A = this chain, B = another copy of it.
């Protein structure tokens, strides 16, 4: 069993596509954006990626149906005003092990080499750890040109501010070493629920950057649900504080 098994569903030719990473991560921000783009923009799946570095499990979906842990490659042709070809990587997981992260991202970039990727955008969330109003979209980039592009659309740059962990960081870092540059868009999110509001912010900045239009109504629906969850989360947070202050050791059983 190799580190990455890639099943090609359709042989496809694309013109200098932009590569967009949107795998699950903090607040599922990237994944929400990917799922929405794939639905709304009629993306076509052309490859499936499996790896023994993914979590050793299957998921139980609708009505008891089992799903493998998977990454998937989609393409969109002629997106937006610039008729830009796009490749999106989505899925339900990332590698569990640190070296697995490097190896899988590296092998995916190798697989994509014949497509002559022009730029890389990676999408994710940046955890605030607590409920947040008006989440910002923060950015980082692997060259000056992309830093300028982000600033032009009002993305605030992170500065000397820790790391970008996982696929969102590695695709940019490994890309740099191959001479492919790009940026990471990160929506602020509390981090402990699926955050459609943060995802909408990221999606709209991406649409502005790549000059395409997209209906965010369904994301708005999900954002509404998110806001309700947010209210619940704040309540839960308060409950936790109340119980912790109740002054007995009862809660200790929930540690670890």
Q: Which residues of A contact B (CB under 8 A)?
A: 1, 50, 52-66, 68-69, 95-103, 106-107, 139-142, 144, 147, 150, 157-166, 169-170, 172-173, 176-177, 184, 240-241, 244-253, 255-256
Q: Which of B165, B240, B250, B255 contacts A256 (CB 8 A)?
A: B255
Contact B58–A157 (Cβ < 8 Å) = no
Q: Which 6 A-B pairs have the closest CB atoms?
A: A64-B157, A52-B102, A56-B101, A57-B163, A58-B169, A58-B173
Contact B244–A166 (Cβ < 8 Å) = no
- Give A144 to B54 CA distance when docked, in angstroms: 25
Contact A64–B159 (Cβ < 8 Å) = yes
Contact A166–B56 (Cβ < 8 Å) = yes
Contact A98–B55 (Cβ < 8 Å) = yes
Contact A68–B249 (Cβ < 8 Å) = no
Contact B57–A165 (Cβ < 8 Å) = yes
Contact A52–B1 (Cβ < 8 Å) = no
Given A1-B102, A256-B256, 14 further pairs, Cβ under 8 A: A53-B98, A56-B102, A57-B163, A58-B169, A58-B172, A62-B160, A64-B140, A65-B144, A65-B147, A66-B184, A68-B177, A241-B250, A245-B250, A249-B252
A46 to chain B, nearest CB (A): 17
Contact A52–B140 (Cβ < 8 Å) = no
Q: Which residues of B contact A256 (CB under 8 A)?
A: 255-256
Contact A244–B249 (Cβ < 8 Å) = yes
Q: Which residues of B contact A170 (CB under 8 A)?
A: 56-58
Q: Which residues of B contact A177 (CB under 8 A)?
A: 50, 68
| Listed A/B pairs (27) with beta-carbon separation below 8 Å | A1-B103, A52-B98, A56-B165, A57-B164, A57-B165, A58-B140, A58-B163, A58-B164, A58-B173, A60-B159, A60-B162, A62-B159, A63-B159, A65-B141, A66-B142, A66-B169, A96-B98, A96-B99, A244-B248, A244-B252, A244-B253, A247-B249, A249-B252, A251-B252, A252-B252, A255-B256, A256-B256
